[in-house]
């Protein structure tokens, strides 16, 4: 347990060397990175994965406005300092990716390199996110559903294990063997889970032990995690000063070709032009064929290889890594 900015964060840790902070997404925990710990530690890195605020063994503040992007970045900054470091590599998946990208955007002095899985780097749109999606999908986009106080919280908590099993399966490549990706739309009256398949057999990458660990981490409910979504518009307001700003630190982006996030409106177009927009981008975005949303869990070998190569190149100052700064310098 680590005290950071008035909250206590539960962390898992392995290895010695330059610090790598791994940031999970929704609905997950530090455990989503358990296949990355060994390979990164063996490559000479100190790997730390927190349960982010509102998740697992970490504190769950009551106030909705305690989950803004500034709080989340502040937790990463505070964690790096509490671990006795001045700088770190930051890697995030799903919601953890915006936290990682924004940490590099807001505190480039503390970020040696940044990698995002699934969610591309932040480019602040011309209008608030909820309004943008409501214009396209009415009240059916899942962000809107999550912003109804207490509604998704209650639906997901009725049977936590079933909720998580459906989520993990439905957003994986196993649920879309044809490669067709559906927008995450919800019937506001029936909820989201009613339309999710409950698999009889788990995908190969997901074990019952994995599901046990994740279910235990949500024993306190889903409200803290859902509060992240309830700050989407507030985050847009708070980041006005960084409109049109870009991440300049050495960066890596990976995504699955069957992931629903790159299929969001405008996301694929952004991915296509990232090499022109991101001065620190290392190579082109890496697309993993046949991979769904749970990138580092569905395709751990490819993700581990890409992360080890990128982080090692940053650490050793290899040519071709823009803006490289050696760890400890």
Per annotation, catalytic residue among 10, 24, 71, 293: 293
Identify the pLDDT of residue 91: 98
3-state secondary structure of 284: coil
Identify the pLDDT of residue 261: 94
Identify the pLDDT of residue 318: 63
Query: Rounded CA gap, 217 and 312, in Å?
Result: 32
Domain spans in the chain, listed from the N-terminal domain onward: 2-316
Q: At what angle do helices 208-217 and 160-170 cross, to 10 degrees?
A: 120
Identify the pLDDT of residue 62: 96
**Which residue stretches of the chain have pLDDT < 70?**
318-329
Give the homologous superfamily in CATH for domain 2-316. Answer: Alpha/Beta hydrolase fold, catalytic domain (3.40.50.1820)
Identify the pLDDT of residue 322: 57
Q: Is 102 a residue of the active site?
A: no
Per annotation, catalytic residue among 94, 102, 210, 259: 94
Q: Are 113 and 310 in contact (CB under 8 A)?
A: yes
Q: Which two tokens stand for residue 195?
A: 């339309």
Identify the pLDDT of residue 178: 77
Query: Rounded CA gap, 322 and 62, in Å?
Result: 41
Q: Is 293 a residue of the active site?
A: yes
Buried b (16+ CB within 10 A) or exposed e, 55-88: bbbbbbbeebebbbbebbbbbbbbbbeebebebb
Q: What is the pLDDT of residues 167-177, one digit of tens each?
A: 999 999 999 88
């Amino acid at each position: 347990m680590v005290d950071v900015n008035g909250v206590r964060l539960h962390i898992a840790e392995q290895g010695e060397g330059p610090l790598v902070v791994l940031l999970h997404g929704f609905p997950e925990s530090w455990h989503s990175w358990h296949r990355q710990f060994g390979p990164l530690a063996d490559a000479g890195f100190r790997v730390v994965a927190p349960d982010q605020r509102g998740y697992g063994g970490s504190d769950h503040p009551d106030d909705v406005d305690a989950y803004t992007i500034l709080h989340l970045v502040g937790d990463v900054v505070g964690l790096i300092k509490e671990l006795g470091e001045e700088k770190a590599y930051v890697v995030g998946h799903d919601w953890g990716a915006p936290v990682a990208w924004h940490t590099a955007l807001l505190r480039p002095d503390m970020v040696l390199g940044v990698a995002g899985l699934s969610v591309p780097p932040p480019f602040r749109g011309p209008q608030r996110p909820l309004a943008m999606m409501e214009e396209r999908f009415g009240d059916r986009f899942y962000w809107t559903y999550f912003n109804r106080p207490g509604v998704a919280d209650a639906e997901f908590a009725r049977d936590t294990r079933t909720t998580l099993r459906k989520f993990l399966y439905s957003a994986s490549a196993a649920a879309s063997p044809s490669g067709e990706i559906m927008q995450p739309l919800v019937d506001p009256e029936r909820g989201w889970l009613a339309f999710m398949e409950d698999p009889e057999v788990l995908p190969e990458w997901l074990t019952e032990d994995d599901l046990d660990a994740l279910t235990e981490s949500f024993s306190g409910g889903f409200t803290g995690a859902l509060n992240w979504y309830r700050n989407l518009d507030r985050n847009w307001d708070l980041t006005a000063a960084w409109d049109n700003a870009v991440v300049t630190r050495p960066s890596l982006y990976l995504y699955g070709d069957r992931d629903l996030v790159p299929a969001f409106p405008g996301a694929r177009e952004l991915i296509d032009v990232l090499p022109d927009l991101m001065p620190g981008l290392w190579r082109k975005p890496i697309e993993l064929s046949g991979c769904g949303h749970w990138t580092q869990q569905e395709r751990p070998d490819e993700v581990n290889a890409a992360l080890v190569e990128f982080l090692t190149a940053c650490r050793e100052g290899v040519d071709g890594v823009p803006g490289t700064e050696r760890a400890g310098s």
